[in-house]
Structure 1
Amino acid sequence: MSRAAGLASRGGASRHYQVFFPLLAALIACAWVALWAWARSPYGRYLEHGDWTASGPAALLCRAIPAGDVVVPLVLYAAAWILMTAAMMLPTTLPLINAFDRLTAQRPDHGRLVALLLLGYMTAWGAFGLLAHALHSAVLSLLAGVPALAWHGWLIGVGIIALAGAFQFSRFKYQCLEKCRTPLSFIMARWRGQAEAGHAFALGVQHGLFCVGCCWALMLLMFGLGAGSLGWMLLLAAAMAVEKNVRWGRFLRRPLGVALLSWAVVLVATHV
């Protein structure tokens, strides 16, 4: 490597650690602070995915705008989900952002490309969030229409916990996890540097889909445990970050699966 190239490389690394990571850390911290403030505000119930249109400001908006009973809950849910995803999942994808940031550091549109990568990643998780919200709404409608199921609603939570535990042992989980654990290989296999904006966004979407494939069952636990519980969010975020970023993280998936399945068994035993 020439002296000029070495200086450029060291300069890029210095910029990377002095600017990029502090900005990303600030973004993640702001997401957690916003969730904390929201959970403790008079609007904290909107994090729980319950009946948002029954009372309060949301009910007024629902009556004031066309199709408000659909639009308002969807907007509130989307805002909550984006905050949750930013707080919980962005820390797990730091190696991808790090690798892509270094790869595109010399490009004049570097900042825009990184932003598009993040936007693509969040888009994949946003799509999953919409599907999860639709499923959650369908379950609530079913419980409201069948009182016998409502009396045994705890079975749904147990089922989600058992599903998350069983998924930890699946081959699909392992394959997606390995894609998440090798971000540089993932980028080099897909990044061509042509039509940069579209490719950066597509790269974020693709990695986001693998991340969803790896973590969807653990994220569904938020619906069973309470989406407004910051303690559970922190615990699940830490578990997913270790799985994806720490050298021995791949070995966590089986013990975590055993713990979740055992928890489900204990819950069934205490309710029977």
Structure 2
Amino acid sequence: MSSNYDQQIDLQNVVPGATAVLKLSYFATFDKIHLNLSGGLTKAHIGRIEGKANGVTFFVDDGSLIGIRDAYQGLFVDASVLTIDFTEPNTRGGAAAQYLSAVPRNLLASLVFEIEIKAAAPGGIVMKAEAEYREPTPNPFILRRKDFNVPLPNVGENDIMLPVAINGGLIKRIWLHAPNVTAVELRTNATPRIRAKKASIEFAQKRNRLVPQAGIIVLDFVADGNMMNMLNTAGVNECLLRLTTSAADTLKCYIDYVDDMKRLA
């Protein structure tokens, strides 16, 4: 647990079919945000979550997927608590690496999370927010999670070009939500970085005490806890992701960057 743990009371508009808004005002470094769900509200009722720093989106996810990410990392998952975790709990680099991408609210004019509540949620729902945080820090790096959707129309190989150069960055993980993907190839500047079947990728992750989840492949560059292994797509001109599928599919992809707040624009 972080050095401070407290309820965050500025959480508004918690009603079905609306977007709840959580404003974090403490001038502190936020490690984790816990959304406690009750009154019939479940993770299935939570849709898109967006974190905005100074009005700019830096973090996106889905309420039904965050628990999958925690389970993959071997973290405890509670059905009634949705945790947004900016730390790297399995790192071997000590506190500096573990807290590298926590969010320094003290360096921001505003920090807001918008949480979609689906219309199917029942009346009388309750959501309360708690946060784990530390003293203010000058560290400008944050976890920046981006997403995109793309069709995988071919049975066999499907090629996707990932952002590079000024649009690239230091990548910890690429989360590939597509159940029909059977193999992955990743090339930077035409040089293979990963070329393996799903089973081989998951075998290597299990060796690092990770827990692969159904319907998702994780390209985890820090699976062994070494942050020095992050993929730097800012330093290449081309990054090709080739996915082999057993049937046509649609990819929902999330990319986790460790990024400087100066790039939030």
**Which TM-score band applies after superposition, normalised by the shorter structure?**
under 0.3
More helix as a share of residues: 1
Larger Rg: 1
TM-score with structure 1 setting the length: 0.25
TM-score with structure 2 setting the length: 0.26
